[in-house]
Amino acid sequence: MPTPAQPRPLEQNGLELVGHSDLGGRGDGMQVMRNGDVLYVGHMGDFGVGTSVVDIADPARPKVLRQISVPKGTHSHKVQLADGLLLANHEQYPYRVGVPESAGLLVYDVTMPADPRQIGFLPIDGLGVHRIWFAGGRFAYASAREKGYRNRILIVVDLEDPTNPRLASRWWWPGQREADAEPVADNSDIGAHHVIVKGDRAYGGYFDAGAVVYSVGGDGALDLISSLSWAERSGGHPHTHTALPLGDRKLLVVTDEAIEPDCKGARKDIHLVDISDETRPKEISRFPVPVGDYCSRGLRFGPHNLHENRPGTFSSDRIVFATYFNAGLRVYDTGDPLHPKEIASYVPEAPARQQAIQLNDVLVGADGLIFVTDRVRGGLYILRRV
């Protein structure tokens, strides 16, 4: 059987396409996790799919094995994998429209990788769970929109009994809770995105509040150490998204999310932040911005997700993989932290009826395979460095 025709690259430097799947014509791909020869791909929700299960035994010919649907008014675009468990979210979708039929956190048993079996669910009284961090152990961390709070807050989920997950604690920026004496300003966009936990520390993006550093207690609870915001400098809402620690170098790579189309809104960057004094983080450089006609291509241009150096995947304290929406996938070297440099990139052509590519999330395997998704209809791209 011949290999299906592959999407052509618009730009290509140091990366090549291995395989591609449009996910059965439901190509609104989001976060990716890998379980051996099986991938779990979250979906934005535009085609009624929550999670795709994809066989990559032959990465040149990925094969969709199963697609898990989502209830009306809900999407399931984030996944996390550890300890034989797959976590996925249920959240209102489309955003700010209606009430989701299901809102919370799903727990699947994936000891049989190709056949996820739901064993638990944590309901959320509100609009649901957004993004999750779970790398094994007792606690998972997520952002959630609950009643009684403005915008997303952070929740800690106890998975000691994965068939009965429970809410262990919450953390919110002062003023987010409706009962707080001094509410956040009406024009602010203070809200949690997610955290990455490393030992007894957690690092996260909190939209207008910027990059945030927390201590993690023995009970999983978060306690604020410091934060660093560039919202005023950016001239609007930077939508600070991810904060990734680079090994033991006392550096964080921090992305803003380019939410507005056509280069509108505040400046969005990838920042390198020095946390050698974690009580006083300071920005020391910004990553180079791709040069080209991206603003005229349409849809989103700018940074978004990073490969998060999860246990069992490719891990580096120097090389950074970042999705950049219509500028595709970009790879950077932070060996000189004052001057990060781009070392590779890949921008595929957009699929039919899509104005521009919108590469959204990335996972890099320990074997060097790179899994990238398009959030509109492009599906799953499997790449490798050359």
4 assigned to some structural domain: no
CA–CA gap between residue 189 and residue 267 (Å, rounded): 15
- The amino acid at 378: G
Cα-based distances in Å from 281 to 254, 301, 384:
12, 27, 34
Farthest-apart Cα atoms in the chain, separation:
66
Q: Return the structure tokens found at 336.
A: 């000189």
Determine contact, residues 61/67, Cβ cutoff 8 Å: no
213 assigned to some structural domain: yes
**Residue in 255, 265, 266, 240 with CA at minimum distance from that of residue 340:** 255
333 assigned to some structural domain: yes
138 assigned to some structural domain: yes
**Residue in 74, 15, 64 with CA at minimum distance from that of residue 39:** 64
Give me the CATH number covering residue 272.
2.130.10.10
Strand order in the sheet with 9-13: 9-13, 341-348, 329-333, 319-323
CA–CA gap between residue 354 and residue 117 (Å, rounded): 34
Q: Say which DSSP state 295 is in.
A: H
CA–CA gap between residue 254 and residue 312 (Å, rounded): 22
Provide the number of structural domains found in the chain. Answer: 1
pTM: 0.97
64 assigned to some structural domain: yes
Determine contact, residues 374/358, Cβ cutoff 8 Å: yes
150: CB partners within 8 A, 6+ apart = 175, 176, 177, 178, 183, 184, 190, 191
Q: Return the structure tokens found at 108.
A: 């699947």
Q: Return the structure tokens found at 330.
A: 């970009």
284: number of Cβ within 10 Å: 13
298 assigned to some structural domain: yes
CA–CA gap between residue 245 and residue 222 (Å, rounded): 17
- The DSSP element (H or E) to which 234 belongs, if any, is helix 231-234
366 assigned to some structural domain: yes
Read off the pLDDT of residues 236-272 as tens digits, 9 standing for 90 and up: 999 999 999 999 999 999 999 999 999 999 999 999 9
pLDDT, one tens digit for every residue, the chain (386 residues): 455 679 999 999 999 999 999 999 999 999 999 999 999 999 999 999 999 999 999 999 999 999 999 999 999 999 999 999 999 999 999 999 999 999 999 999 999 999 999 999 999 999 999 999 999 999 999 999 999 999 999 999 999 999 999 999 999 999 999 999 999 988 899 999 999 999 999 999 999 999 999 999 999 999 999 999 999 999 899 999 999 999 999 999 999 999 999 999 999 999 999 999 999 999 999 999 999 999 999 999 999 999 999 999 999 999 999 999 999 999 999 999 999 999 999 999 999 999 999 999 999 999 999 999 999 999 999 999 99
CA 62 vs. chain centroid, Å, equals: 22
Domain that holds residue 358: 9-385
293 assigned to some structural domain: yes
Q: What's the length of the chain?
A: 386
